[in-house]
Chains A and B, each alone.
Chain A
Amino acid sequence: MYVYSEIDQELVDQRVEQFRDQTRRYLDGSLSDDDFKPLRLQNGLYIQRHAPMLRVAIPYGLLASGQLRTLATIARRWDRGYGHFTTRQNIQFNWPELEDVPDILAELAKVQMHAIQTSGNCIRNTTTDHFAGVAPDELINPLVWCEIIRQWSTFHPEFAFLPRKFKIAVSGAESDRAAVGVHDIGLQATRGEDGGIGFRVWVGGGLGRTPVLASLIQPFVPAAELLTYLEAVLRVYNLHGRRDNKYKARIKILVRDLTPQVFADQVDAEWRSNRNVASVLTQTEIDRIAARFTWPEYLTEASPDTVAAQAALEPEFARWLRTNTHAHRVEGYVAVSASLKASGVPPGDLTADQMDAVADLADRYSFGELRITHEQNLVFADVQRADLYAMWSALRALNLATPNIGLLTNIIACPGGDFCSLANAVSIPVAAAIQERFANIDYVHDIGELDLNISGCINACGHHHVGHIGILGVDKNGEEWYQVTVGGRQSGGLRPDLGDAFPKGGGGAAIGRIIGRAFSRDQIPDVVATLMTTYLEYRDSEAERFIDVVERIGLEPFKVAVYGEDQRGRRREVSHV
């Protein structure tokens, strides 16, 4: 966990006072709706369909047990007893009253948390992968770099009123688990020619209405120049991004309209002529920030490894090990996923009681820390192998041990029409129906790796574009219908050819394609089932995953299976505008 300095604490405390004053002025009428709106958004507060929604930041997804207990307290005291973890590693509370929000922010500040810049046209929470710092393949520790970017971006005076929201993701390894290809800026750690550490800078990726893969604008920025380069990108965007049309205002539109070449040249010119020397990072500065983290003190003596024996005795434990535990760079340690995707529970939700119990588990088994994943699950990053059986038993009792990480029923879903005024359709009931249909865990394991993502509207907060299967809620004549896409991936696809002038896609992301006309809600489980049987028919071995088969044989066999040979049942692929 990053431990606040006096300055960190002062900033959040002052922000609470500032927002308390703004809320008072709004409630007494001296601040108009229009003026209050951007100010409250920059404190994560939405006025929603049923009640205000507060989005609390969990910087780079890292949470300490004490912080999680405070989130539980907030859920109980000011909300309805639960919280929702999002695809950007934040947490949302759906029912707080506006008048209570300053007090909630004050409560958060006591445990070094806040809701700063989690909404609004500013730089949002910088995200990374949930194995940051423990994955065996990393060049850098993304947690440190995300904190550096968090500080640089928080209350940045020049970039508080951008044309639109701005999202940055950091990947510490060549193998991208942070979806750098679909962010406004994706940073991928890499080595320069002289062996020094730097970043590949991908710009202009994004999902939403116009899904687009990022372009590699700068193949190498030395680590020391990261902030000066980011400033140059942000300044070009701030000055030249469109402000006439909210749906054309993201940086991805600017990169496309200028062309990546021209955009890169403008950033380069800005960087060279107006570089903010004060923002150059020294090793001392980087070390200072790294030193403020509490790092786990790993035990090096080996304990007898009973895991294999226990797994042989209990097939359910064995199955859970296969999907919900992950490699760790330190011998004897493992990262453990807690699945928030149990059948019948809205994906990503955790009750206050579960939060307290999870905090206890973190204290007992994982150095008091845990991670929120962008797939809406939790990760205990530093668990000793010797504790795995106990961990599994405890998680099972909490309904957090569904062995489905990376599988079909590990559904990512936005809150959808039940909660969100932007939605065209509900998403949670669709997720529930799919989970119920695929309740047979053996079948789900047989299918293997499958990302299924659901968005309730074209804003794509469920990241359906990068699901192997994506489901998008649409409104047709006042009714809820669902489009199905196939073939998306967040990373790991065809590696972009870095020899190209402006390769696209970060870590190998791809956007899914619509397979045909939309379906009603009750048709969806059948459609997914048909896609599965088709996959199983065509796969050449158990090792060939759904996405592999799609990339090998294309969409046609799947379309035929779902819609039949009848041409009238199908429609031309719609290209995203």
Chain B
Amino acid sequence: MSELSFFAQPIVQTRGAEGPRVVADTWYWQALETDASVPNSLTGPTVLNLATWLEQRGKLDDVGVPLGVRLTGEVVPEALAGHLEGLTLIAIEFPTFSDGRGFSVARYLRQQLGWQGELRATGDVLIDTVNYLARCGFDSFQLKPGHEPTLALQQLRWFTRPYQRGYAPLGQQEAA
């Protein structure tokens, strides 16, 4: 039996026609230090650890709830290649915001694996990193304690005409 937690934390969501907004998280989160068994009762959308997702895929077809997977800092993203079907959300955890691997992992998932579902940044996510995260393909953000999600919305409005080509936030047209 592996633990599930429900935080209902306010998160920043940019996905969807309503545009950037703060909503309560609807996902259940499998605890990180746990075995790779499928949680007993899945009552709502659930984010599984990568090990659980990869090992138990065969048993997860009829769970009847949306499923997500969480990647932690050391994970090699290629592990997900070919295993995206059935997922609604991928969460990438930042062990510290200055560990910038997650930005490249996001690019890999979006550009190379063609991931179209929700891509969430969790862990050490600051108001100040949301802008870069969005431009690497993240479309939802779980900010760390002490960082107010509504202030993050403001940061998303900066640097709207950046230098780099091919890094427009999801759903936005690239500036000409």
A and B from one complex = yes
> Residues of A at under 8 Å CB distance from B?
7, 10-11, 14, 17-18, 22, 30, 32, 35, 38-39, 121, 151-152, 154-162, 235, 238-239, 243, 273-274, 276-279
Name B104-150 residues within 8 Å CB distance of A.
104-105, 107-108, 111-112, 126, 128-129, 131-136, 146
A183 to chain B, nearest CB (A): 20
Chain B residue contacts of A11, Cβ below 8 A: 159, 161-163
**Once the chains bind, are B161 and A273 in contact (CB under 8 Å)?**
no
The reply on B57 being an interface residue by CB < 8 A is no
**Measured CA separation A235–B133 after assembly (Å):** 15
CA distance A278 to B167 in the complex (A): 9
Contact in complex: B112, A161 (CB < 8 Å): no
Q: Which 10 A-B pairs have the closest CB atoms?
A: A161-B100, A278-B166, A278-B165, A157-B132, A157-B135, A151-B163, A158-B103, A276-B166, A238-B104, A14-B158
Chain B residues near A276 (CB, 8 Å)?
111, 165-166
Given contacts A14-B159, A274-B112, A161 and B103 within 8 Å (CB-CB): yes
Contact flags B154-176 to A (C-beta < 8 A → 1, else 0): 01001101111111000000100
Asked whether B166 lies within 8 Å of A35 as measured between CB atoms, the reply is no
A234, chain B: closest CB distance, angstroms: 9
Q: Besides A18-B155, A158-B107, A278-B166, 11 other CB < 8 A contacts?
A: A11-B162, A14-B158, A18-B128, A157-B167, A235-B107, A239-B104, A239-B105, A273-B112, A276-B166, A277-B166, A278-B165
Cβ of B98 under 8 Å from chain A: yes
Partner of B166, one of A14, A32, A279: A279
- Contact indicator B174/A278 (Cβ below 8 Å): yes
Q: Are B108 and A38 touching (Cβ within 8 A)?
A: no
Instruction: Give 7 CB contacts A-B under 8 Å.
Output: A30-B146, A121-B100, A156-B163, A158-B107, A161-B103, A274-B107, A279-B164
Q: Kindly state the separation between the CA atoms of A152 and B146 in the bound complex, as whole angstroms.
A: 32
A152 touches B100 (CB 8 A): no
Q: With A156-B164, A279-B164 known to touch, is A161 a contact of B99 (CB < 8 Å)?
A: yes
For residue B97, CB closer than 8 A to chain A, the reply is: yes
Q: In the complex, which residues of chain A have a beta carbon less than 8 angstroms from the beta carbon of B83?
A: none
Q: Are A155 and B126 in contact (CB under 8 A)?
A: no
Q: In the complex, which residues of chain A have a beta carbon less than 8 angstroms from the beta carbon of B107?
A: 158, 235, 274
- Cβ contacts under 8 Å, A155 to chain B: 132, 159, 162-164
Residue pair A279, B165 in contact (C-beta under 8 Å) = yes
Q: Which residues of A contact B135 (CB under 8 A)?
A: 157
Measured CB to CB, the closest approach of chain A to B122, in angstroms, equals 16
Bound CA–CA A35/B131 (angstroms)? 16
A275 to chain B, nearest CB (A): 10
Inter-chain contact B163/A154, CB cutoff 8 Å = yes
Q: Which of B101, B112, B126 has the most CB of A within 10 A?
A: B101
Query: What is the CA–CA distance of A366 and B165 in the complex, to the nearest angstrom?
Result: 36
CB of A38 within 8 A of CB of B166, answer no
Please, how many angstroms separate the alpha-carbon atoms of A161 and B132 in the complex? Answer: 10
* A159 contact from B103, B112, B158, Cβ within 8 A: B103
Bound-complex Cα distance A243 to B104 (A): 15
Complex Cα spacing A22 to B112, Å: 35
Q: Give the residue name and chain of the A residue nearest to B168 (CB).
A: A278
In whole Å, how far is A337's beta carbon from the nearest beta carbon of chain B?
33
Minimum distance in angstroms from B112 CB to a CB of chain A:
5
Expressed in whole angstroms, the Cα–Cα distance for A10 and B158 within the complex equals: 10
Q: Which residue of B lies closest to A241 (CB)?
A: B101
Distance in angstroms between the alpha carbons of A35 and B158 in the assembled complex: 20
| Given A22-B128, A274-B111, A238 and B166 contact (CB-CB distance below 8 Å) | no
State how many angstroms separate the Cβ of A12 from the closest Cβ of chain B.
11
Which single residue of chain A is at the shortest CB-CB distance from B103? Answer: A158
Taking a contact as CB atoms under 8 Å apart, the answer to whether A152 and B126 are in contact is: no
Query: What is the distance, in angstroms, from B168's C-beta to the closest C-beta of chain A?
Result: 9
Give Cα distance in the complex from A276 to B110, angstroms: 12
| Min C-beta distance of B52 to chain A, whole Å | 24
Question: In the complex the two chains form, is A7's CB within 8 Å of B161's CB?
Answer: yes
Collect the chain B residues with CB atoms within 8 Å of residue A279's CB.
Answer: 164-166
| Contact status B165-A35, CB under 8 Å | no
Contacts of A161 in B (CB 8 A): 97-100, 103
Minimal Cβ-Cβ distance residue in B for A8: B163
Q: How far is the CA of A451 from the CA of B166 in the complex (A)?
A: 44
The one of B101, B111, B158, B167 that contacts A238, using a Cβ cutoff of 8 Å: B101
Q: Whole-angstrom distance between the alpha carbons of A159 and B167 in the complex?
A: 12
Contact A121 B101 (CB under 8 A): no
Q: Which residue of A lies closest to B175 (CB)?
A: A7
Q: Which residues of A contact B131 (CB under 8 A)?
A: 157
A235 to B166, CA, bound (A): 15
- Check if A152 sits within 8 Å of B112, measured CB to CB: no
Complex-state Cα separation, A39 to B129, whole angstroms: 9
Residues of A within 8 A of B132 (CB): 155, 157-158, 160
Cβ contact within 8 Å between A121 and B103: no
A14 surroundings in chain B (CB, below 8 A): 158-159
Cα A35 to Cα B163 with chains together (Å): 26
B18 to chain A, nearest CB (A): 23
Point out the residues of chain B lying under 8 angstroms from A22, CB to CB: 128
Nearest Cβ on chain B to A108's Cβ, whole angstroms = 18
User: Chain A's nearest CB lies how many Å from the CB of B106?
Assistant: 8
The answer to whether B136 and A10 touch across the interface, beta carbons within 8 angstroms, is no
A157 adjacent to B97 (CB under 8 Å): no
Complex alpha-carbon distance, A160 and B107, angstroms: 14
